[in-house]
Amino acid sequence: MAKKKDLEQALASDIGEFHADPYRFVHYAYPWGEGDLKDYKGPYDWQSRILAQIGAHLTSQRRFEPLLLAVASGHGIGKSALVSWIADWSLSTCEDARILVTANTGDQLATKTIPEVKKWFSRSINNHWWTLAAESIKSADKKHADNWRIDFHTWSLEKTEAFAGLHNKGKRIVLIFDEASAIPEKIWEVAEGALTDAETEIIWVAFGNPTVNTGRFRECFGKLKHRWKTRQIDSRTVPGTNKAQIGKWVEDYGEDSDFCRVRVKGEFPRAGSSQFIASDVVALARRRDVGDQAKAFKILSVDVARFGDDESVIGFRQGLVYRIIERIRGADTMQIAMRTMHFTRIHEPRALVIDGDGVGGGVVDYINLHFAEWMKVRPYFKLKEFHGAGSVADKSMYYNKRAEVWGLMRDWLVTGSIPDDPEVESDLTGPEYFFSSKNTIQLESKEDMKKRGLSSPDIGDNLAMTFAVMPERQTRDEAFRESLEKEQDPMQRHFMLLAETERRKKAAQPKMYWQ
Q: Is the pLDDT of residue 123 over 90?
A: yes
Average pLDDT over residues 253-280: 82
Mean pLDDT check: name the lowest of 55-59, 312-316, 424-428: 424-428
Mean local confidence (pLDDT), 109-113: 91
As a dihedral over the C-alpha atoms of residue 75, residue 112, residue 186, residue 269, rounded to 10 degrees, the angle is: 10
CA distance 67 to 318: 60
Whether residue 471 lies inside any domain: the answer is no
309: confidence class by pLDDT, cuts 50, 70, 90: low
What pLDDT does residue 385 have?
Answer: 95
Rounded Cα gap, residues 167 and 178, in angstroms:
20
Dihedral of the alpha carbons of 87, 118, 9, 24, in degrees to the nearest 10: -50
Q: Average model confidence (pLDDT) for the chain?
A: 88
SS3 category, 182 = helix
Q: Residue 58 above 60 pLDDT? A: yes
Name the β-bridge partners of 326: 314
pTM here is: 0.63
CB proximity list for 5: less than 8 A, separation 6 or greater: none
Same domain, 233 and 348: no
pLDDT bin (cut points 50, 70, 90) of residue 475 is low
**CA atoms of 496 and 54, how far apart (whole Å):** 91
6 and 89 assigned to the same domain: yes
pLDDT band at 435 (very low <50, low <70, confident <90, very high): confident
If asked whether residues 401 and 489 sit together in one domain, one would say: no
pLDDT of residue 280: 85
Q: Kindly indicate the confidence band of residue 2, based on its pLDDT and cuts at 50, 70 and 90.
A: low
Confidence of residue 439 (pLDDT cuts 50, 70, 90): confident
Whether residues 299 and 229 fall in one domain: no
Query: Is 479's pLDDT higher than 80?
Result: no
Q: State yes or no: pLDDT of 78 exceeds 90.
A: yes
> Is it the case that residue 186 has pLDDT exceeding 90?
no
Instruction: Looking at the structure, tell me whether residues 445 and 492 fall in a common domain.
Output: no
Domain membership flag for residue 196: yes
* Coil, helix or strand at residue 206: strand
Residue 136: inside a domain = yes
CATH of the domain at 317: 3.30.420.240
Residues 392 and 236 sit within 8 Å (Cβ to Cβ): no
Residue 439 inside a domain? The answer is yes
Quickly state the pLDDT bin for 195 (edges 50, 70, 90): confident
The secondary structure of 362-409 as a DSSP string is HHHHHHHHHSHHHHHT-TT-EEEEE-TTS--S-TTTBSSHHHHHHHHH
**pLDDT of 61 above 80:** yes
Residues 381, 335, single domain; the answer is yes
317 three-state secondary structure: strand
Give the pLDDT band (50/70/90) at residue 483: confident
The CA-CA-CA angle for residues 243, 249, 253, to 5°, reads 155
Judgement on whether residues 312 and 205 belong to the same structural domain of the protein? no
Total of domains in the chain: 3
> What order of strands is seen across the sheet that includes strand 298-303?
321-328, 312-318, 298-303, 351-355, 382-386
Q: What is the pLDDT of residues 80-109, one digit of tens each?
A: 999 999 999 999 999 999 999 999 888 889
379 Cβ contact list (under 8 Å, min separation 6): none
The whole-number pLDDT of residue 507 equals 66
Mean pLDDT for 282-293 is 93
Task: Provide the pLDDT for residue 273.
Answer: 52
Tell me the residue ranges of DSSP E strands in 403-446: 432-435, 441-443
Choice between 494 and 146, residue whose per-residue pLDDT is larger: 146
Q: Are strands 67-73 and 382-386 parallel, antiparallel or unpaired?
A: unpaired
For 234, half-sphere exposure in the C-beta direction (CA atoms, 13 angstrom radius) is: 10
Looking at the structure, tell me whether residues 197 and 287 fall in a common domain: no
**Residue 112 Cα distances to 44, 46, 91, 309, angstroms:** 20, 21, 20, 23
Decide which of 289 and 396 is more confident.
289
Residues 337, 62: Cα–Cα separation, whole Å = 72
pLDDT confidence tier of residue 366, bands split at 50, 70 and 90:
very high
Percent of the chain whose predicted confidence (pLDDT) is above 90: 57
Asked if residue 221 is part of any domain, the answer here is yes
- Please, are residues 429 and 421 in contact by the beta-carbon 8 Å criterion? no
> Is there a single domain that holds both residue 78 and residue 203?
yes
Could you give the CA distance from residue 312 to residue 202 in angstroms, rounded to a whole number?
Answer: 54
Say if residue 473's pLDDT is above 90.
no
Domain that holds residue 495: 479-508
| The dihedral formed by the CA atoms of 419, 425, 426 and 429, expressed in degrees to the nearest 10 | 140
Residue 307's pLDDT band, with cuts at 50, 70 and 90, is: low
Q: What is the pLDDT of residue 509?
A: 66
Q: Does the pLDDT of residue 141 top 80, yes or no?
A: yes
483 lies in the same domain as 399: no
Residue 513 inside a domain? The answer is no
Residue 425 lies in a domain: yes
Q: Are residues 120 and 9 in the same domain?
A: yes
Asked whether the predicted pLDDT for residue 252 surpasses 80, the reply is: yes
Provide the CA 271 distance to its chain's centre, in angstroms: 17
Tell whether 256 is covered by a domain: no
Q: What is the pLDDT of residues 372-412, one digit of tens each?
A: 999 988 888 999 999 999 999 988 899 999 999 999 999 99
Residue 269 falls in which region: left (phi positive, over 0), alpha (psi -120 to 50) or beta: beta
Is the per-residue pLDDT at 127 higher than 90? yes
Same domain for 240 and 284: no
Q: What is the CATH number of the domain that holds 170?
A: 3.40.50.300
Q: Cα separation of 357 and 313, whole Å?
A: 15
